[in-house]
Structure 1
Amino acid sequence: MLTLKYRHLFFDLDHTLWDFEANADETLRHLYEQYDLARYGTFTVDEFIKVYSDINHGLWRLYQNNKITQQQLRASRFPRTFVKLGLSESDSPENISEQFTDILPLKSAVFPYTHEVLNYLRDKGYVLHLITNGFKDIQHVKLKSSNLTHYFQEIITSECCGHLKPDSRIFQHALERTGATAPESLMIGDNLECDVLGAYNAGLDQVYFNPEKRRHFTQTTYEIACLSELKDIL
């Protein structure tokens, strides 16, 4: 039985349990209205969201590769968005980044079956943990807002550990902190590099959460398109 193979389950948070895109979309629509960005008459709210999302993803890749700092990421994503939309950096409202950071983690959208599956896994005796590259100051708010905190024994953030996924040292830190061993541990996440390859290099089996069924050529221990499929594995 596979239930005997693993004891510790390590989840990613953003894009795996907590629906970052849905929550960011709602937050950005709020900010578009709050700051009356329609007054510029040059971009729609959907264009604003699309451009911001592309820029934010690119900056996150730089951050995860240790090429920019957390502060640089937060300070540059909105000014770059406005420039890409044909305005100037000075057109970016002064406090919009802080507003985004304050409002976003209060959103509660999670992927389908999140609570059902976490209840199922906990009831079966698995010990659940989180490993996240997200910033500590907002990850705990996200967990509380979406009623997820109580499922996890340990919440390991890259900010506290000092290493970002896919660096194998964050996975080693997680194993040491939880008292787990690699063979009895399973990593579940949506990012092929950070979650799958990072866990693989640290000796952990992996579940690639691929809800959009993106084509790829990476070898994974398991692959799922819906969190409910974890019940078939565990």
Structure 2
Amino acid sequence: MKVRQLFFDLDRTLWDFETNSRFALQYLYDDLKLGDSIEHFLHFHHTYIRINADLWNQYGNGKLTKEELRDNRFKKALAHHGIHDEVLAKQMSDGYIALSPHQTALFPGAVQMLETLKQQDYALHIITNGFKEVQHIKLERSGISHFFDTVLCSEEIGVTKPHREIFQEALRLTNCKTEHAIMIGDDFKADIIGALNAGWTAIHFDPEHKYKKERNVPRIRELSEIPELVNLLPIVAN
């Protein structure tokens, strides 16, 4: 049995959040006839992405509740386009929550990479800032839930990555030593800095090279690089 245990982020690391979200939003735009008021879907999509990212940042900093995030993102996106309709905003919010997690797009090579790691006897886990009721649906619907021994959602312990507490809780749940834990994720602050500050090893998944390479952290563009890389990483002695 391998000593190493691998902890994956879910959204934008394994599950293709942008593709899946865009599909759900396009369906709602068409179904609710938003085109009658907003000329192009891309206009609404860009507005929603910006507002949603800002609200998630506030949520991560403890300035917003889960319910406020979900209530406000569509209200604000519609209001930006001159639509002040709380019933429509609620329809969009409910529809998005119902549709989005059932989408199944994964990043290229995700399944093959997970299969290889399992064949190499690695224990695999998920640490996600996403909400529990939808993250488990994503894993099930996309056919990858069976790869993971543990799924830890930040709302279960009341703090989000990069807070140290969520990494400590992950170690407790998996009976893993700090020096044996590797975090793999796309968000440099939440996943990588969070893991490093907790004494873990980290691998940065940055397929579009959005981030400047920092702190001598291994960076990959393809998930297929992970199985070979984890076998080469030295075990850090704490």
Deviations along 1:8-54, one digit per CA (max 9) or x if unpaired, are: 000000000000000000000000011011111x4311111111111
**Conserved 8 A contact 2:71-2:90:** no
Does 1:162 find its partner at 2:158? yes
Question: SS in structure 1 opposite 2:64?
Answer: coil
**Conserved 8 A contact 1:8-1:186:** yes
**Conserved 8 A contact 1:188-1:195:** yes
**Conserved 8 A contact 1:196-1:220:** no
Does 1:173 find its partner at 2:141? no
Match of 2:48 in 1: 52
> Identity of aligned pairs, percent?
37
Structure 2: distance between partners of 1:149 and 1:137: 14
Q: Structure 1: which amino acid aligns with 2:4? A: R
Q: Structure 2: which amino acid aligns with 1:26? A: F
Match of 2:234 in 1: none
Does 1:34 find its partner at 2:31? yes
Deviations along 1:84-126, one digit per CA (max 9) or x if unpaired, are: 1233254744321011001100000000000000000011010
Does 1:116 find its partner at 2:112? yes
Q: Structure 1: which amino acid aligns with 2:91? A: N
Deviations along 1:175-214, one digit per CA (max 9) or x if unpaired, are: 0110001111100000011000000010001011101111
Structure 1 unaligned runs (5+)?
none
After TM superposition, the score normalised by the length of structure 2 is: 0.93
Question: SS in structure 2 opposite 1:54?
Answer: helix
Match of 1:19 in 2: 16
Q: How many Å apart are 1:7 and its aligned residue?
A: 1.2
| More moved, 212-221 vs 127-136 | 212-221
Match of 2:7 in 1: 10
Structure 1: distance between partners of 2:204 and 2:186: 6
**Conserved 8 A contact 1:206-1:220:** no
**Conserved 8 A contact 2:75-2:86:** yes
Aligned residue pairs: how many? Answer: 230
**Conserved 8 A contact 2:213-2:219:** no
Match of 1:218 in 2: 214
Q: How large is the RMSD of aligned CA atoms in angstroms?
A: 1.5
Match of 1:131 in 2: 127
**Conserved 8 A contact 2:78-2:89:** no
| Of 125, 134, 141, the match for 2:137 | 141
| Of 195, 199, 205, the match for 1:199 | 195
| Of 66, 78, 84, the match for 1:82 | 78
What stretches of structure 1 move > 3 A for 4+ residues in a row? 89-94
Cα 1:220–1:99 change in 2 (3 A) is farther
Cα 1:105–1:74 change in 2 (3 A) is same
Q: How many Å apart are 1:232 and its aligned residue?
A: 2.9
Match of 1:153 in 2: 149
Match of 1:71 in 2: 67
Question: SS in structure 2 opposite 1:95?
Answer: helix
| More moved, 22-31 vs 217-226 | 217-226
Deviations along 1:135-165, one digit per CA (max 9) or x if unpaired, are: 0010000000100110000001111122210
